[in-house]
Structure 1
Amino acid sequence: MRLIAKTLAGLEPVLAQELEELGAQGIEPLNRAVAFEGDKALMYRANLELRTALRILLPVHQGKVRTEDELYRLVRKVDWSRYMKVNDTLAVDGVTNSRLFTHSKYVALKTKDAIVDQFREATGRRPNVNVYAPRLRVNVHIFNDECTIALDSSDDSLHKRGYRLSSVEAPINEVLAAGMVLLSGWKADRPLLDPMCGSGTLVIEAGLIATQRAPQLNREHFGFKRWPDFDEALWGQILEAAKQRVRKSPVPILGSDKDFKAMRLTEQNAMAAGLEDTIKVQRKKFEKLEPEVEAGMILMNPPYDERLSEADIGAFYEMIGDQLKQRFTGFDAWIISSSIDGFKRLGLKSTQKIPLFNGALECRFVKYELYAGTRK
């Protein structure tokens, strides 16, 4: 099967590497997606194990469309009775990047009309729409005049791991957090610290990686489980194999935050993720934080300037830079932020910069190697 894994902008290389490690063939990075080839078992594993994928799509038809009538006719060329029955429910997600089709919801509506009209003409009845728990979720993507119609094997977005019981304001997306851990090169070979951990997404994603725990291990619902050709025995084998791979983390994973609520949320979410024995959390301001280990990795998602004044953001980032220089010699620090001025005020020389998006915010994910004295 030719499949497509959707992801966030900037994470395509990481997702391609994950797919290669799963045994995928014909891997082709795209824009916010990676195409690949694999069998049914690989599709199941991709949903269960990929950390930087949002959805796994199975294309069933492609073609050129320039008008809504051409879109309607293209969708009607698919024999939808292969994938659902008239008494099943349906949902359609539309994505468009085209001057010909400017409204994704309208694209979804026309696709839905074509599907239900096919059933009405054949049976005299039509399937109902259920946007929350459909029997079949369809994805239609238009780029310029190229249209791809696909079945969504994931249903709910794969960034929903199930461990986020509650969160602080504007938590980082789980897929982005996992991508940051993987982009940093951390492989559970040294201690990891997030000194501004919020509700714990970064340390939890690191904990899942360190313990080799599949991110969807506790998830019950996938789109493919409602497909007519679902292989329950094969899925059971894949799920059991994933459970057998779980191990104890070989290194400490530490979270810290000045806010008591954030500390408690991190503890609760870590417990929901099965990582209560892996992640240690403490309440402390970063400017008073002392490292508990001699060297390791720091991952940080500090506040940007959206909720801080320009003067405050400058002083805040200066404090971060001073703390890193004075107390964290021997560490590598990775910081994500949309604040260009904030990065300048750190007073540190970067060794790597990666463009990423945190929601709609264009950010930089920047590495600093913290040496004693000069690097030379």
Structure 2
Amino acid sequence: MNKITLIATAAMGIESLVAKEVKDLGYDNIQVDNGKVTFEADVSAICRSNLWLRTADRVKLKVGEFRATTFDELFEKTKALPWGDFIPENGEFPVIGKSVKSKLYSVSDCQAIVKKAVVEKLSQHYKRTTWFEENGPFFRIEIALLKDIATLTIDTSGTGLHKRGYRADQGEAPLKETLAATLVLLTNWNADKPFVDPFCGSGTIPIEAALIGQNIAPGFNREFVSENWDWIGRKSWEKAFQEAEDLAKYDQPLDITGSDIDHRMVEMAKGNAFEAGLGEMIQFKQMQVKDFTTKKEYGVMVGNPPYGERIGEKKAVETMYEQMGKAFAPLDTWSIYILTSHPDFEKLYGRPATKKRKLFNGFIRTDYYQYWGKRPPKN
């Protein structure tokens, strides 16, 4: 198996960031579409992309793509694909599906037809007449129909890539690790600059910043479903994990601080940072945002404050945005990045953003307000 096609799925609005990560891993022939980045690579890319992609939701192996407007067409074209190249005789292969703007709109029927077609193909491949026991490695097949184009994939990640393995505890509305990494990567921060999150919650943004700062692969502390696939091979995974270990910069000093008004969240953040192996790298403290001061210069601040969407919260949140604007006003060398869904944030904060970018926090449409500080003097 020389070349395979992989799809890195992404939240709306950050596809270009995922594409950059894919390119930085050394892969080209990249195609960017809504919610996904498709690229060609060798088999080892399954290991490397799962380990390294910070902003993608999951990595899928593309088995085939074709037009299908009838169930017969879906069955025959699915059956024609090389399923035996990927799924072993004892493989477990459930089928999930979705359909958007397609004639074949019954997802359950499409799932059943794809399952039947794969079974028939594997029966031919393995020369079997009896039912498959499906008690071996796991291969989740997805049939995705969009405007009558059927895309058939196998999930290589298992649990979504946002599950890094370090978050032992979390608050009520935790920020996904992939979005936290996105917020950091969209700034001008590097490991030589101070970094602050004044609304750290369970610590996700500071932890993701530390992983980026020390070039630690985000998937280093977790497992992936495709680690059990024989055709990839244990050696490929071992090589990918060794590469991640070799590229990590554990000696890189970091100046990262997270603070929160709630002392329980601060303790939770400390625990999560230790779980990530970064307990000594990040400082956490209890503090109200209005009390923030620093003598450091040319730092980067990233915050995901409350949005005021709950009944009774709005006025308190608006007051806090005003206080935040006053507290941050003296920080003219700092670049400040704030994510919120509040439409009047700039007015409450006291000044317009240098730039803003639309992002989705789950299903909430938000804006990422960017205030760029002065550039450091050239030596």
Equivalent runs, 1:318-333 vs 2, <5 Å = 318-326=322-330, 328-333=331-336
RMSD over aligned CA atoms reads: 2.2
Moved more, 72-81 or 143-152: 72-81
Contact 1:98 1:145 in 2 (8 A): yes
Task: Give the CA deviation at 1:197.
Answer: 0.3
- 1:374 corresponds in structure 2 to none
SS at match of 2:212: helix
Distance 1:30 1:94 in 2: 19
- 1:26 corresponds in structure 2 to 29
- 1:302 corresponds in structure 2 to 305
Moved more, 98-107 or 222-231: 98-107
Whichever residue aligns with residue 297 of structure 1, its letter is: V
| Aligned CA distance change for structure 1 residues 309 and 82 (closer, same or farther; 3 Å) | same
2:183 paired residue among 158, 180, 185:
180
Distance 1:294 1:315 in 2: 26
- 2:128 corresponds in structure 1 to 123
Distance 1:106 1:277 in 2: 53
Distance 1:109 1:313 in 2: 49
| Aligned CA distance change for structure 1 residues 274 and 105 (closer, same or farther; 3 Å) | farther
Equivalent runs, 1:73-84 vs 2, <5 Å = 73-84=76-87
- 2:255 corresponds in structure 1 to 252
| Aligned CA distance change for structure 1 residues 85 and 2 (closer, same or farther; 3 Å) | closer
Task: Give the CA deviation at 1:259.
Answer: 0.5
Task: Give the CA deviation at 1:92.
Answer: 2.5
Contact 2:43 2:232 in 1 (8 A): no
Contact 1:188 1:210 in 2 (8 A): yes
- 2:243 corresponds in structure 1 to 241
Contact 1:91 1:129 in 2 (8 A): no
| Aligned CA distance change for structure 1 residues 64 and 99 (closer, same or farther; 3 Å) | closer
Tell me if 1:317 matches 2:321. Answer: yes
Contact 2:346 2:352 in 1 (8 A): no
Percent same amino acid at aligned positions?
A: 33
SS at match of 1:244: helix
- 2:227 corresponds in structure 1 to 225
Distance 2:142 2:355 in 1: 36
SS at match of 2:93: strand
- 1:44 corresponds in structure 2 to 47
Contact 1:207 1:249 in 2 (8 A): no
Contact 2:170 2:202 in 1 (8 A): yes
Distance 2:316 2:33 in 1: 39
2:166 paired residue among 163, 166, 177:
163
- 1:358 corresponds in structure 2 to 361
Task: Give the CA deviation at 1:97.
Answer: 2.5
Structure 1 residues not aligned, in runs of 5+: 372-376
Task: Give the CA deviation at 1:14.
Answer: 1.1
- 1:280 corresponds in structure 2 to 283
- 2:377 corresponds in structure 1 to none
Whichever residue aligns with residue 147 of structure 1, its letter is: A
Contact 1:195 1:256 in 2 (8 A): yes
Structure 2 residues not aligned, in runs of 5+: 375-379
Distance 1:19 1:356 in 2: 20
Displaced runs of 4+ in structure 1, greater than 3 A? Answer: 101-110, 116-122, 124-130
Task: Give the CA deviation at 1:292.
Answer: 5.8
1:269 paired residue among 252, 255, 272:
272
| Aligned CA distance change for structure 1 residues 110 and 320 (closer, same or farther; 3 Å) | farther
